Structure formats: C-alpha cells, structure tokens
Amino acid sequence: MKKWLEPLSNAWGGVKTHKLRSSLTILGIVIGVAAVIALMSIGRGVSAQILSQIEGMGSDVITVFPGSVTERGVAGAGGSAATLTLEDAEAISEQVPYVTAVAPYSSANQQLIVGGENMNAQVIGVTPEYQDANNLDTSAGVFISQYDYESGTKVAVLGSNVADTLFSGIDPLGQQLRMGSNIVRVTGVLESKGGSFGMSSTDDTVLIPLSTLQQTISQPRTVTGGHVVSSIAVIVSDEAQMNTVVTETESLLRSRHGLATGDDDDFSVFSMEELLSTVTEVTGTMTLFLGAIAAISLLVGGIGVMNIMLVSVVERTREIGIRKALGARERDIWGQFLTESAFLSFTGGLIGVAVGWGVSKLISGVGMMGEMTTVVSADIVIMALAVSVGIGLLSGFLPARRAAQLNPIEALRYE
C-alpha cells in the first residue's frame, strides 16, 4: 500500500468498524453543510434576481426626482414638490455633457375600461426616449414614436399584465381603450419584464405620449410656467462619466431653480449604480446572515464529531497502548485521530454539498420562491468543504491530544 494512503485506509477502517455511529456523526455534518449550501444558494439567488432586475432597468441611467434628499432618504419624492419641468429636461439634454438622451415622464392613476373589463392602473406619459432609458421592448406593435409625442396622438402602449387583464383572448392591437374620459387606441404591448420585491414594474402600467397626458389628463404648471413632470431619466453615453453627469445635472438644476448657495436641493439625482451598490450590500448581508444561521448547525455537527472522537479515544485506549508499544510516536497517534475526524467531516461535507445542492434545486424546481432560481456557486461549495475539514481537524484536536499523551503502560493495562 502506498505510504500516504495508509492513514486514510486506517481512518476508513475506524469508520467501518462503527458504521451506525459514524453515519450519525457524519449526518450532523451533512445537515450543517447542506443547510449552509441551501440557504446561501437562496441568498445568492435572491441577490442575482434583484440585480438582474435593476440592471434590466438600465445601469447607464440616472434619474432626477423632485423633492430633496434628507438623511432619511428621499423625502416627498414624486409628490409634494412639483419642481421638475419639461424645460429642465431639455436643458439637461442640451447642456450636460455625456448625455445621450433625456426621458422626462409624468404619471397619473386612471380607471381603464374595455367592454366589461375594468381596472385601475398607472398611466405614464412618456417620450420615445423612455424606451431606451428603461430597456423596454414591445412584444406586439410599436412603441410611442416621436410623431405621437409631438402631435399628442391618443395612442397607448400596454404593459403585459394590463393587456392580459383587459384583452384576455383578444389581440389588443388597434383596439380602443377608455381611459377616464378619453379614448385611446392600443398601438403596442410591452414585453413582460417580471418584477417583484417591491419594485414597480412596467408590466402593470399603460404608456401614452407625455404630450397626450398633459393635454387630456393633467396639465400642471409651475409658477414660472414650466410644464411639470414627475421625473426625468437621463441616459448617459459613457458609464465612466456617471459622476460627472450627476454633478453637472445637479449644478444645472440648482441654477435653473434659482437656488442660493446653502439652500437644499429641491430635487434629487439618483444613479442606478448607487442603487446597485446599496442593493448589493443589503443582499450580501442577507446572504451572510442566512449562512451564519446555517453555520450554527455546522458547528453543532462539529461538536458531534468531537464527542464521538472522544468516545472513540477512550474505547481505543488499549489500541493506542499497543501502537505505542510498537513504536508509534505522539505525532503518529495525532495523525491517526486527526485524519479520522477530518475524514468523517469531509465525507459529511461531500454528502452535505450534494444534499444542499439537491435541496436548492428542489426549491427552485417547485417554484417555492416564485420565479427566483437558487444559485449554487463554486465558492460556496469549496468554502463549505474547507470549513467541514477545518471543523473536523478542530474537533479532532482535543481527542487526538488526549490519545497522543496517553501513558503506554496504563493504556495497555486498560480493559
């Protein structure tokens, strides 16, 4: 037998002699590792899902909201202060560098009626640029065109959920839709983007030209006569210049809004990148938290290994005495018991990875988490295996030391 294989085959012999006991010990580690893998994969899956949604919204976009940022976040966004105007949007487009396009928009809730169907939805008045700013695609028909915007035509592009609700079984294209006191014609349907986790999705909205919204539903003006919009999305041509665009936009709007130095902004600028980093941080913490909970069970499993190894040392006192009489040094005995406990927990780790992987597949398979899929990544697997071996060595330490330090004469006399 190869020399380096010997400790392993020894360890296997020890495990084999006590099948039930070893299996139960391994089970503790299996549960711990499986829990870590499963929970971490759920955490990773949720993160990936949220990030892909955010990225779907366009990471090269910054959004300007009315209202100011206080320390507690965005205060009065989209409501109290009607400070952003269509003219602001045009100014940004013309004066701020690295801006590809601006997409000002405004929204209002409207009752939608088609035949007997009837629902309340958010109607957003948009410009053609809105499509790029939000990475929208139409599954049927066309998006709102420049012509629609300029002439204020009464057309609508429906979110997929709205289309399904109002026109179940009918092709909505070309159909008429009653929106409050106005009638609009459906010219397009948006592709579904999914969306959950509290973020509003375009699936549940109806898009009409901004000009149409202003003419037919509401036409608020600021004291200076600007056309009020709810927000302005700014598409940046170079993502590296995101910060420049943010600063330039801020100073432009401050001067346009006549704010003196020291006054608070009456708007807030929000970049996707910022959102992305916040969300990454939050979901990372969540994943770690889940992992930490699971790690507790791994710890318990490790204590189980230590317990069994201690019993095993007592039980094999005589064997240790014999080995010492045959010339085993303390480090030989150390090696024997550490190998055995590492072997136990590594085996448990391997099985645990398989079980954890299976469980996480099962979770995404039965759709327990909605559309979310779990993500088992190599780094988690490697980490779980390394931790289980580490736990094996750690929990084998005390028993192995006890074994190595046994007095050979007393050990040989042990019954």
Partner 1 sequence: MIRLNDITKVYPMGKRELEVLRGVNLHIKQGEMVAIMGHSGSGKTTMLNLIGCLDIPTSGSYYLDEREVSCLNRGELAQVRAKKIGFIFQTYNLLPQLSALANVELGMRYAGGIDYERAVAALARVGLSDRAKHKPSELSGGEQQRVAIARALVKNPPLILADEPTGNLDSHTGEEIMSILTTIHNDQNNTLVMITHEADVAHYCQRIIHLKDGQVEAEEKL
Is 338 a residue that touches partner 1 (CB under 8 A)? no
Neighbours of 219 (CB within 10 A): 11
Pick from 373, 79, 51, 359: nearest CA to 197: 51
- Residue among 195 and 335 whose Cβ is closer to partner 1: 335
Is 328 a residue that touches partner 1 (CB under 8 A)? yes
Is 329 a residue that touches partner 1 (CB under 8 A)? yes
Is 339 a residue that touches partner 1 (CB under 8 A)? no
- Residue among 164 and 319 whose Cβ is closer to partner 1: 319
SS3 of residue 223 by DSSP: coil
Is 6 a residue that touches partner 1 (CB under 8 A)? yes
Is 318 a residue that touches partner 1 (CB under 8 A)? yes
Residue 364 to residues 22, 76, 158, 353, 375, Cα–Cα distance (Å) = 32, 38, 30, 17, 9
Q: Applying CB under 8 A, which of residues 87, 265, 274, 319 lies at the interface with partner 1?
A: 319
Taking a C-beta distance cutoff of 8 angstroms, is the pair 363, 38 a contact? yes
With contacts defined by CB under 8 A, name the span among 9-17, 134-142, 144-152, 208-216 that binds partner 1.
9-17
- Residue among 227 and 323 whose Cβ is closer to partner 1: 323
* DSSP secondary structure string for all residues of 56-102: HT-TTEEEEEES-EETTEE-STTTT----BHHHHHHHHHHSTTEEEE
At its nearest, how many Å lie between partner 1 and the CB of residue 15? 11
Is 325 a residue that touches partner 1 (CB under 8 A)? yes
Pick from 146, 147, 123, 126: nearest CA to 136: 126
| Site track 196-225 with partner 1 (rule: CB under 8 A), x = hit | ------------------------------
| Longest Cα separation, the chain | 103
In angstroms, rounded to a whole number, what is the distance separating the alpha carbons of residues 407 and 330?
Answer: 11
Residue 231 amino acid letter: S
With contacts defined by CB under 8 A, name the span among 1-9, 207-215, 251-259, 298-306 that binds partner 1.
1-9
| Site track 372-411 with partner 1 (rule: CB under 8 A), x = hit | ------------------------------------xx--
Tell the residue number behind the tokens 């929990």, with chain if given. Answer: 395
Q: Applying CB under 8 A, which of residues 20, 240, 326, 378 lies at the interface with partner 1?
A: 326
Which residues contact partner 1 (rule: CB under 8 A)?
1, 3, 6, 13-14, 16-17, 318-319, 321-330, 332, 408-409, 412
